[in-house]
Amino acid sequence: MSDPLGDRDRLPFVLAQAAEAATRYLAAIDGERVHGGRVEEAAAAFSGSLPETGDGSAEAIALLAEEGIAAATRSAGPRFFHFVTGGATPAALAADWLASALDQNSFSWVSSPLGSRLELVATGWLKELFGLPPSWGAVLTTGATMANFTGLGAARRWWAGEHGVDLDEQGFGGLPPVPVLTSGYLHGSAVKALAMLGIGRARIRRFAADATGRLDRDAFKAALDQLGGAPAIVIANAGEVNAGDFDPIEEMIELAHAANAWVHVDGAFGLFVRVSTGAAELARGVEGAASVIADGHKWLNVPYDCGFAFVRDPELMHGAFKFAGPYLPIGSDDRPSFADFGPEASRRARALAVWATLRAYGRAGYREMVDRHLGLAREVGAEVVASDDFELLAPVRINVICFRYRPLGVPESALDDLNRRLGAAILEDGRVYFGTTVYGGKVAFRPAISNWRTTAVDADLIVAIARELGESLAASR
Ligand SMILES: Cc1ncc(COP(=O)(O)O)c(C=O)c1O
């Protein structure tokens, strides 16, 4: 097989082949170990030099399905509790397949009216879901890192404008450093975005009251006061990765506004508490910020990759990201070119999956799922508290449970090493999947529940399997 043109008639067959493999994979996923077993074998099967003459699509897809499925991490399944990872709802997955088949380029209205229209509707629904004003600008990105980049890019434009400079035209020359103030909860992706924007990692001032990173309100306020009205950027964190805590967002916004600062909220997963029945208070006041972001491939449970950026003043997005050329169409409010609102030009039609999952399950469906996850996390936390061999290190505020193994008789000085070894054993075992972090100076676990498939059957295994593996580690010493 050489020219793909010769493969045309085989298309229905290979699509059916892929659908059969995916269906088989997902049918078994609930009970399988999370790590893919045959990683090295798959790597060997995929390697070799570039074929001069290809095998044809059926052969290539058969090999990919067989070896790829054997090697794949079951992160789409219900027991992947590492990081904060969602799966893909049935509606989102099917819509994402269609996005590939339709192969829409969602950069402009002209290239894909369908993609642009669905992105307008889907981002409108997301604003409704999160309680953000409909007048805000919004764009789908590859994830929360690029959503942070987008929101902070608008912030950077605003900041330079306060100094009388159009930074996106003129660059930074002659401008002072950009003050960035936040708590110790800042996520690495916002740090990366600040570096990419040329603001610089070293400009970040973290006001942490203790080793957990909790905001030191007094120091934060004093630093804002010291700026004397000079423009600045404040980043508030809605959902910190170690223990799911929130900055006091409303208070930070109030202080920042009094001091002439832009507030950007990183709510990669935490923004979803605004959908919940009982935890929405944690993200109170978010609508008072200037930019807010969240992730789609986390708690919305759409396939990778998908994030959302929302900016109060859409003109600032357009100013930062405008994309022009004599052959390029000019967008309008009703017929938008989303390439003008975010970092990418050619773009996957991510809106199909976002629209489909919101259409399929609605606000009530998401509320039920988020509430279920919050309830499961609370139950795991209660189990930890009731045990005499585990220690809860922070209250369970949302879907993250921060705890460590602390069997009787093991001295404090040995706990970090024990928990690190137990973390490695959990990943190696694979019946549940979560790693370690360092929280308040202690090595800890931080499983997060955010997959639509996860039920009590899965969550109940978190402590049980950690205990079983912990006891066998202790016995082997
Ligand atoms: C709070 C927070 N912000 C940003 C990110 C980055 O998200 P992404 O990997 O989608 O770029 C994450 C990812 O874990 C996160 O937890």
Does residue 267 form part of some domain? yes
Give pLDDT tens digits for 30-70. Answer: 999 999 888 899 999 999 999 999 999 999 999 999 999 99
| Same domain membership, residue 226 and residue 119 | yes
Instruction: State how far the Cα of 111 lies from the Cα of 310, in Å rounded to an integer.
Output: 23
Instruction: For ligand 1, pick from 75, 80, 189, 271 the residue to mutate: most ligand atoms within 8 Å of CB.
Output: 189
Instruction: State how far the Cα of 85 lies from the Cα of 295, in Å rounded to an integer.
Output: 10
Q: What distance in angstroms lies between residue 422's CA and the mean position of ligand 1's atoms?
A: 25
Q: What is the CATH number of the domain that holds 195?
A: 3.40.640.10
In the listed set 40, 72, 104, which residue is the last one of a domain according to the structure?
72
Instruction: For ligand 1, pick from 83, 145, 240 the residue to mutate: most ligand atoms within 8 Å of CB.
Output: 145
Does residue 301 form part of some domain? yes
Q: Which amino acid is at 56?
A: G
Give pLDDT tens digits for 445-464. Answer: 999 999 999 999 999 999 99
Q: Which amino acid is at 10?
A: R
Q: What is the DSSP letter of 136?
A: S
Q: Which atom of ligand 1 is nearest to the CA of 238?
A: 1
* Residue 249 pLDDT: 98
Does residue 442 form part of some domain? yes
Q: What distance in angstroms lies between residue 441's CA and the mean position of ligand 1's atoms?
A: 22
Q: What distance in angstroms lies between residue 140's CA and the mean position of ligand 1's atoms?
A: 14
Does residue 221 form part of some domain? yes
Q: What is the mean pLDDT of residues 255-264?
A: 98
Give pLDDT tens digits for 420-440. Answer: 999 999 999 999 999 999 999
| Same domain membership, residue 413 and residue 311 | no
Between 38 and 195, name the one with better pLDDT. Answer: 195
Q: Check pLDDT > 70 for residue 263.
A: yes
Residues 6+ apart with CB under 8 A from 198: 172
Q: Which atom of ligand 1 is nearest to the CA of 305?
A: 10
Nearest CA-CA partner of 291 in 341, 235, 215: 235
| Same domain membership, residue 449 and residue 346 | no
CA-nearest residue for atom 3, ligand 1, is 268
Q: What distance in angstroms lies between residue 145's CA and the mean position of ligand 1's atoms?
A: 6
Instruction: State how far the Cα of 166 lies from the Cα of 295, in Å rounded to an integer.
Output: 29
Instruction: State how far the Cα of 3 lies from the Cα of 56, in Å rounded to an integer.
Output: 10
Q: What is the DSSP letter of 133?
A: -
Q: What distance in angstroms lies between residue 307's CA and the mean position of ligand 1's atoms?
A: 9
Neighbours of 260 (CB within 10 A): 15
| Same domain membership, residue 309 and residue 391 | no
| Same domain membership, residue 201 and residue 136 | yes
* Residue 232 pLDDT: 98
Q: Check pLDDT > 80 for residue 477.
A: no
Q: What distance in angstroms lies between residue 29's CA and the mean position of ligand 1's atoms?
A: 25
Beta strands (DSSP E) in 168-301 are 180-182, 204-206, 232-237, 261-266, 291-295
At 277, give phi and psi (nearest 5°): -80, -40
The whole-model pTM stands at 0.97
Q: What distance in angstroms lies between residue 196's CA and the mean position of ligand 1's atoms?
A: 16
| Same domain membership, residue 262 and residue 300 | yes
* Residue 333 pLDDT: 83
3-class secondary structure, 436: strand
Instruction: State how far the Cα of 477 lies from the Cα of 281, in Å rounded to an integer.
Output: 46
Q: What is the CATH number of the domain that holds 384?
A: 3.90.1150.170
Q: Which residue has the tokens 């509320």?
A: 367
Does residue 81 form part of some domain? no
Q: Check pLDDT > 80 for residue 118.
A: yes
Q: Which amino acid is at 463?
A: V
Q: What distance in angstroms lies between residue 192's CA and the mean position of ligand 1's atoms?
A: 11
Q: What is the mean pLDDT of residues 165-190?
A: 97
Q: What distance in angstroms lies between residue 7's CA and the mean position of ligand 1's atoms?
A: 40
Q: What does the block give as tokens for 376?
A: 């499961």
Q: Which atom of ligand 1 is nearest to the CA of 83?
A: 14
Report the run of H or E that residue 311 belongs to, with start and end: strand 307-311
Give pLDDT tens digits for 55-108. Answer: 999 999 999 999 999 999 999 999 999 999 999 999 999 999 999 999 999 999
Contact status, residue 397 vs residue 243, Cβ threshold 8 Å? yes
Nearest CA-CA partner of 348 in 335, 339, 358, 336: 339
Q: What is the mean pLDDT of residues 176-198?
A: 98
Does residue 224 form part of some domain? yes
Residue 329's pLDDT band (cuts 50, 70, 90): confident
CA-nearest residue for atom 15, ligand 1, is 268
Ligand 1 environment, Cβ below 6 A: 83-84, 143-145, 187, 189, 239, 241, 266, 268-269, 295, 307
Give pLDDT tens digits for 388-426. Answer: 999 999 999 999 999 999 999 999 999 999 999 999 999
| Same domain membership, residue 259 and residue 155 | yes
Does residue 303 form part of some domain? yes
Instruction: For ligand 1, pick from 187, 293, 400 the residue to mutate: most ligand atoms within 8 Å of CB.
Output: 187
Q: What does the block give as tokens for 337?
A: 């070119």
Q: What distance in angstroms lies between residue 58's CA and the mean position of ligand 1's atoms?
A: 37
| Same domain membership, residue 295 and residue 313 | yes
In the listed set 359, 387, 411, which residue is the last one of a domain according to the structure?
359
Q: Which atom of ligand 1 is nearest to the CA of 240?
A: 1
Nearest CA-CA partner of 84 in 208, 214, 224, 238: 238
CA geometry: angle 282, 315, 126, nearest 5 deg: 40
Does residue 51 form part of some domain? yes
Residue 475's pLDDT band (cuts 50, 70, 90): confident
| Same domain membership, residue 107 and residue 68 | no
3-class secondary structure, 439: strand
3-class secondary structure, 240: coil
Q: What distance in angstroms lies between residue 268's CA and the mean position of ligand 1's atoms?
A: 6
> What's the chain's length in residues?
477
| Same domain membership, residue 446 and residue 352 | no
| Same domain membership, residue 353 and residue 410 | no
CA geometry: angle 284, 267, 344, nearest 5 deg: 135
- Residue 62 class from Cβ within 10 Å (0-12 exposed, 13-18 middle, 19+ buried)? middle
Q: Check pLDDT > 90 for residue 373.
A: yes
CA geometry: angle 152, 155, 156, nearest 5 deg: 90
Nearest CA-CA partner of 351 in 125, 16, 73, 110: 125
| Same domain membership, residue 326 and residue 470 | no
Residues 6+ apart with CB under 8 A from 175: 160, 163, 165, 167
CA-nearest residue for atom 5, ligand 1, is 144
CA-nearest residue for atom 12, ligand 1, is 268
Instruction: State how far the Cα of 378 lies from the Cα of 399, in Å rounded to an integer.
Output: 8
The 3-class SS string of 445-473 reads ECCECCCCCCCHHHHCHHHHHHHHHHHHH
Give pLDDT tens digits for 214-238. Answer: 999 999 999 999 999 999 999 999 9
| Start-to-end CA span in the chain (Å) | 57
Q: Which atom of ligand 1 is nearest to the CA of 307?
A: 10
Which residues form the domain of 416?
364-475
Q: What is the mean pLDDT of residues 232-252?
A: 98
- One DSSP character per residue, 205-237 reads EE-BSSTT--B-HHHHHHHHHHTTT--EEEEEE
* Residue 1 pLDDT: 66
In the listed set 326, 359, 392, which residue is the last one of a domain according to the structure?
359
Domain count along the chain:
3
Instruction: For ligand 1, pick from 186, 295, 306 the residue to mutate: most ligand atoms within 8 Å of CB.
Output: 295
